[in-house]
Amino acid sequence: MADKDTENEKLIRTKEQWAKTGRALTGTEGDPTRDRRPPGQHVTDKFPVLDLGIQPNLSTKDWSLSVAGQVANPLKWDWAAFMAQEQATFLNDIHCVTTWSRYANTWIGVPMRTLLRAVQPLPTAKYLMLKSYDGYSTNVPLADVDRDDVFIGHTWQGEALSREHGGPARVVVPHLYFWKSAKWLRHITFLDRDQPGYWEARGYHMRGDPWKEERYS
Ligand SMILES: Nc1nc2c(c(=O)[nH]1)N[C@H]1C(S)=C(S)[C@@H](COP(=O)(O)O)O[C@H]1N2
Ligand SMILES: [Mo]
């Protein structure tokens, strides 16, 4: 356990160092209408696991999602309420800031626009803070989740999303670097001002568009 902690701290320090030195920056901009692979990325068939080393062991019985902040209707969904929402299938590519990309992932989940309709963001709401059961957080502009391709996923490649990949349910924001896709989703706060999440406070970009190489701030 102690060894594992040291290992995780080392990894976190390494990633902070990357932000300082601008690792993997190519200085070019990609065109998603023409290319499939964003600048500086390489394609893998594997599905690497990246987190802070704490992987909450949540059964669907223990899981709930609460939404608060600048919304007209704050809510809390337990698993049954979450699964009773509109369900959709998604196909996307994943781009991680550590430079791996994984193409053609199939998911099932609840469209983020379904959640937005349920909570009714106030006109002042401009950003979301996603908070997870492992203590992780990440910020994302409302405009970047108010899209048809953003969702809260519970099934990946036909199987229940595994614990290490954020099961029972995680956010997926496929057009941004994967650190914005919070695993083990627990809470969403709508904010009028942008606030840094876990990695954003450690030098990572507030938005994270892989086509513009928004890796670091
Ligand atoms: N709750 C939580 N979500 C998280 C993370 C984390 O540490 N905790 N890591 C992020 C990072 S840096 C990446 S690259 C992806 C990795 O997802 P994966 O392990 O399913 O590949 O999850 C993101 N979401
Ligand atoms: Mo990442």
Q: 42: which residues sit within 8 A by CB, 6+ positions away?
A: 99, 100, 101
The per-residue pLDDT for range 191-213, each reduced to its tens digit, is 999 999 999 999 999 999 999 99
Tell me the domains of the chain and their CATH numbers. Answer: 2-52+59-212 (3.90.420.10)
Please work out, in degrees rounded to the nearest 5, the angle formed at the alpha carbon of residue 69 by the alpha carbons of 121 and 205. Answer: 85
Q: Using CA positions, which residue lies closest to atom 1 of ligand 1? A: 183
CA of 69 to the centre of ligand 1 (A): 24
Task: Determine the Cα–Cα distance for residues 26 and 182; give it in Å rounded to an integer.
Answer: 26
pLDDT (0 to 100) of residue 5: 75
Residue 134 Cβ contacting ligand 1 at under 6 Å: yes
Residue 171 Cβ contacting ligand 1 at under 6 Å: no
Give the helix/strand (H/E) hosting 96. Answer: none
Q: Work out whether strand 64-69 and strand 185-191 pair parallel, antiparallel, or are unpaired.
A: parallel
Residue 50 Cβ contacting ligand 1 at under 6 Å: yes
User: Which residues, given as ranges, of the chain have pLDDT below 50?
Assistant: none
pLDDT (0 to 100) of residue 8: 87
Mutate to test the pocket of ligand 1, among 179, 185, 188, 205 (most ligand atoms within 8 A of CB): 179
Q: How far is CA 188 from CA 25, 66, 102, 146, 203, in A?
A: 31, 6, 26, 14, 22
